[in-house]
């Protein structure tokens, strides 16, 4: 009886298998056509390979054993393959589950109640004179803080005027508020752009029951309150008709005669004047004041957008947005700011920067968006993108898509 040595798959067709056999005479033959039609001493590549192999020298029992081992090896490998495939499927399923769990966690975190702490609180007030609480989340450069400490100390002996310049929404007004809160001073913020007439500043005379009395304005009250901080907000927009009356208050005389009320006004000890000036987009860092003003505000703090780490912390602390999202928002804003300053490599330049105020608004709105299944960055379509003119918008949108590929919507 011939013994089956092995089955050999055909190279030309996967459905055909040849059988390599050993006859009782010890000759090895094959069922393939090449063996059948070979001339002389019959052979084929299968028998020749076999004869040259180690297997050929084995007894039929040994060949059987070898075959059993081979089959066992094949089935072991198949088992392992199956196991690997199953564990890969399981890992994939787990990764999807984990991603969904994370998204749901993020959505829940965004939906959690968090009352944004955008600004300072007012501890008490007397008309427009306020006593602000220290905003612990307000970041002040160490060097500026030390300078302002000296201003506070010197104010009792020497008149102190400090000019705060910088781009829109970078924290000029609130730096003056921080100064007041830190030193427990009362303060008043005068909006120079909206107060137009002398009477708005100094008050007016009124006749009542046959007597004429002076309605004293909050500005005068503040000037007469020791240690008061007076913020002349947007001072470069002060109407020129007011220069002559205001300037004597600001120089070393610290007094002014107000014709309309017929009184001399004298600045109380410790009063510090801050004037804020907004450097608009058309200015790229340098800012010149008229000579009379510059003369009176000989000390100037150049405010600017916060350093990256500090701005991220402000966003997280004030709005509760995750640090990862705050980081991306600040990076996006810094990309735009670099283009405004002309510092960005290549590409177009922009005329309008993104302010800290805008980032805070984006973070607050972004949380609400995330809570309802949208993305944080979708808020930019309402807080940043619409503020760019048609010609600048595409490059801002490009920066946005680069930083927030997941943001779905497009600005209209
Ligand atoms: N250094 C800072 N630390 C924390 N929050 C800040 C800081 N700077 C600005 N902000 C926040 O940004 C917002 C804008 O600040 P602020 O009103 O003082 O800016 P501004 O420079 O006076 O703006 P504008 O030029 O429009 O008057 C506020 O909500 C403020 O709390
Ligand atoms: Mg301001």
Q: Which pLDDT does position 46 carry in this prediction?
A: 92
Q: Which pLDDT does position 281 carry in this prediction?
A: 47
Does ligand 1 lie within 6 Å of residue 306's CB atom?
yes
> Angle at CA 355, nearest 5°, toward 314 and 319?
30
Stretch among 273-277, 349-353, 375-379 having the lowest mean pLDDT: 349-353
Does ligand 1 lie within 6 Å of residue 8's CB atom?
no
Going by C-alpha positions, the residue among 294, 249, 293 that lies closest to residue 271 is: 249
Q: Which pLDDT does position 288 carry in this prediction?
A: 56
Residue minimizing CA distance to atom 16 of ligand 1: 171
Burial of 181 (0-12, 13-18, 19+ CB in 10 A): buried
Q: Are 289 and 334 part of one and the same domain?
A: no
**Is the pLDDT assigned to residue 343 strictly greater than 60?**
yes
Does ligand 1 lie within 6 Å of residue 138's CB atom?
yes
User: When comparing pLDDT for 152 and 258, which is higher?
Assistant: 152
Report how far ligand 2's centroid is from the alpha carbon of 195 (Å).
15
**Contact status, residue 326 vs residue 312, Cβ threshold 8 Å:** yes
**Is the pLDDT assigned to residue 409 strictly greater than 60?**
no
- pLDDT digits 0-9 by tens, 207-249: 888 888 888 889 999 999 999 999 999 888 887 777 778 888 9
Which token pair is 379? Answer: 């808020």
Q: Are 175 and 161 part of one and the same domain?
A: yes
Q: Which whole number is the average pLDDT over 141-145?
A: 96
Cα 236 from Cα 216, distance rounded (Å) = 25
Instruction: State the closest ligand 1 atom to the C-alpha of 314, by its place in the atom list counted from 1.
Output: 4
Q: Between β-strands 17-22 and 3-9, what pairing exists: parallel, antiparallel or unpaired?
A: antiparallel
Stretch among 53-62, 253-262, 356-365 having the lowest mean pLDDT: 53-62
Stretch among 154-158, 168-172, 261-265, 299-303 having the lowest mean pLDDT: 261-265
Q: Which whole number is the average pLDDT over 332-337?
A: 96
Q: Are 209 and 126 part of one and the same domain?
A: yes
Does any domain span residue 78? Answer: no
**Is the pLDDT assigned to residue 26 strictly greater than 70?**
yes
Question: Percent of the chain having pLDDT more than 90?
Answer: 60
Q: Which pLDDT does position 283 carry in this prediction?
A: 45
pLDDT, mean over the chain: 89
Q: Which pLDDT does position 280 carry in this prediction?
A: 58
Does any domain span residue 377? Answer: yes
Q: Which whole number is the average pLDDT over 286-291?
A: 60
What secondary structure letter does DSSP report for 378? G
Q: Are 141 and 251 part of one and the same domain?
A: yes
Name the band, by pLDDT with cuts 50, 70 and 90, for residue 34. very high
Q: Which pLDDT does position 58 carry in this prediction?
A: 80
Beta-strand (E) ranges in 59-159? Answer: 122-126, 129-132
Which token pair is 210? Answer: 């046959």
Residue minimizing CA distance to atom 13 of ligand 1: 357
Query: What would you measure as the largest C-alpha separation in the chain, in angstroms?
Result: 147
Q: Which pLDDT does position 396 carry in this prediction?
A: 94
Closest ligand relative to 177 C-alpha: 1
Q: Are 320 and 295 part of one and the same domain?
A: no
Report how far ligand 2's centroid is from the alpha carbon of 168 (Å).
7
Rounded to two decimals, the pTM is 0.77
User: When comparing pLDDT for 391 and 280, which is higher?
Assistant: 391
- pLDDT digits 0-9 by tens, 151-206: 999 998 998 999 999 998 999 999 999 999 999 999 999 998 888 788 888 888 88
Structural domain span for residue 389: 308-403
HSE on the CB side for 124, CA within 13 Å? 4
For residue 246, the SS3 value is helix
Among residues 302, 324, 347, the one where a domain terminates is 302
Q: Are 156 and 296 part of one and the same domain?
A: yes
Does any domain span residue 213? Answer: yes
User: When comparing pLDDT for 31 and 237, which is higher?
Assistant: 31
For residue 26, the SS3 value is coil
Going by C-alpha positions, the residue among 168, 190, 171 that lies closest to residue 179 is: 171
Does ligand 1 lie within 6 Å of residue 173's CB atom?
yes
Does any domain span residue 141? Answer: yes
Does ligand 1 lie within 6 Å of residue 118's CB atom?
yes
Instruction: State the closest ligand 1 atom to the C-alpha of 118, by its place in the atom list counted from 1.
Output: 29
User: When comparing pLDDT for 86 and 212, which is higher?
Assistant: 86
Q: Are 259 and 128 part of one and the same domain?
A: yes
Closest ligand relative to 357 C-alpha: 1
**Is the pLDDT assigned to residue 259 strictly greater than 60?**
yes
Does any domain span residue 84? Answer: no
In sequence order, the 6+-apart residues with CB closer than 8 A to the CB of 266 are: 223, 224, 254, 255
Cα 68 from Cα 81, distance rounded (Å) = 20
Q: Are 257 and 367 part of one and the same domain?
A: no
Which token pair is 370? Answer: 């995330």
Does any domain span residue 359? Answer: yes
Q: Are 297 and 394 part of one and the same domain?
A: no
Cα 311 from Cα 327, distance rounded (Å) = 9
Cα 404 from Cα 395, distance rounded (Å) = 14
Q: Which pLDDT does position 286 carry in this prediction?
A: 45
Does any domain span residue 66? Answer: no
Q: Are 159 and 275 part of one and the same domain?
A: yes
The residue whose two tokens read 């072991």 is 76
State residue 324 phi and psi, 5-degree precision: -60, -40
Among residues 238, 268, 302, the one where a domain terminates is 302
Q: Are 244 and 366 part of one and the same domain?
A: no
Report how far ligand 2's centroid is from the alpha carbon of 233 (Å).
6
Q: Which pLDDT does position 285 carry in this prediction?
A: 43
Q: How far apart are the first and last CA of the chain?
A: 87
Does ligand 1 lie within 6 Å of residue 139's CB atom?
yes
Does any domain span residue 363? Answer: yes
């Amino acid at each position: 009886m011939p013994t089956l040595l092995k089955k050999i798959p055909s190279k030309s067709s996967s459905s055909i298998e040849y059988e390599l056999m050993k006859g009782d005479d010890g000759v090895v033959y094959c069922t393939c056509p090449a063996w059948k039609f070979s001339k002389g001493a019959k052979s084929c590549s299968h028998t020749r390979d076999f004869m040259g192999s180690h297997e050929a020298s084995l007894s039929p029992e040994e060949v059987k054993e070898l075959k059993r081992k081979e089959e066992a090896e094949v089935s072991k490998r198949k088992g392992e393959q199956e196991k690997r495939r199953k564990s890969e499927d399981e890992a994939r399923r787990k990764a999807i589950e984990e991603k969904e769990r994370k998204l749901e966690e993020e959505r829940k975190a965004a939906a959690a109640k968090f009352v944004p702490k955008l600004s300072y609180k007012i501890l008490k007030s007397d008309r427009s004179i306020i006593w602000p609480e220290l905003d612990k989340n307000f970041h002040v450069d160490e060097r500026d803080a030390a300078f302002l400490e000296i201003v506070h100390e010197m104010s009792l002996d020497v008149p102190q005027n400090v000019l705060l310049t910088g781009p829109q929404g970078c924290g000029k007004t609130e730096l003056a508020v921080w100064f007041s809160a830190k030193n427990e001073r009362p303060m008043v913020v005068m909006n120079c752009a909206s107060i137009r007439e002398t009477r708005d500043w100094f008050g007016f005379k009124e006749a009542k029951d046959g007597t004429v009395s002076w309605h004293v304005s909050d500005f005068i009250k503040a000037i007469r309150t020791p240690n008061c901080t007076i913020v002349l907000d947007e001072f470069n927009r002060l109407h020129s008709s007011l220069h002559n009356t205001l300037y004597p208050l600001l120089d070393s005389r610290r007094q002014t005669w107000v014709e309309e009320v017929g009184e001399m006004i004298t600045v109380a000890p410790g009063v510090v004047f801050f004037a804020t000036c907004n450097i608009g987009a058309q200015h790229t860092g340098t800012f010149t004041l008229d000579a009379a003003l510059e003369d009176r505000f000989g000390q100037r703090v150049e405010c600017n957008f916060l350093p990256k780490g500090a701005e991220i912390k402000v966003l997280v602390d004030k709005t509760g947005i995750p640090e990862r999202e705050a980081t991306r928002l600040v990076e996006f804003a810094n990309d735009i700011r670099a283009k405004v300053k002309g510092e960005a490599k290549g590409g177009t330049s922009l005329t309008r920067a993104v302010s800290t105020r805008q980032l805070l608004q984006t973070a607050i709105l972004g949380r609400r968006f995330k809570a309802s299944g949208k993305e944080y960055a979708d808020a930019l379509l309402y807080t940043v993108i619409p503020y760019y003119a048609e010609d600048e918008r595409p490059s801002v949108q490009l920066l946005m898509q680069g930083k927030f590929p997941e943001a779905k919507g497009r600005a209209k």
